[in-house]
């Protein structure tokens, strides 16, 4: 089984894979339980917010205070992606395969 760990939003790195069910803004989306969001953009220039852009999904502004500060993450290198999931910028959760 692949190791999933908690990481502070401010410490996320490009290509980290975030379990979207741990995101307070995306957890209720239908896709959240089926895919990992791949971090493609990170902006920490604003003093009160960290902006994380997920490939093919959206940019989310996480406040430094008020909400849980950690997300469940695993490294990109753990999952080999093939089309079409890779083209969408998502990584399928363990045990799932794309439907042709």
> For the chain, where are the E strands, in sequence order?
5-8, 17-19, 35-43, 49-54, 59-63, 70-74, 90-92
Q: Name which residue leads in pLDDT, 63 or 100.
A: 63
Residue 33: the pLDDT is: 87
The pLDDT of residue 63 is above 70: yes
Residue 15: the pLDDT is: 92
Residue 67: the pLDDT is: 53
């Amino acid at each position: 089984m692949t190791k999933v760990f908690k990481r502070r939003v401010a410490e996320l790195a490009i290509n980290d894979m975030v379990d979207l069910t741990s995101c307070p803004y995306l957890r209720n989306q239908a896709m959240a339980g089926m895919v990992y969001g791949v971090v493609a953009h990170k902006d920490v220039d604003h003093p009160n917010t960290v902006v994380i852009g997920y490939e093919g999904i959206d940019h989310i502004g996480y406040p430094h205070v008020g909400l849980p500060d950690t997300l469940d993450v695993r490294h990109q290198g753990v999952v080999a992606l093939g089309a079409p999931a890779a083209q969408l910028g998502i990584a399928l959760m363990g045990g799932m395969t794309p439907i042709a």
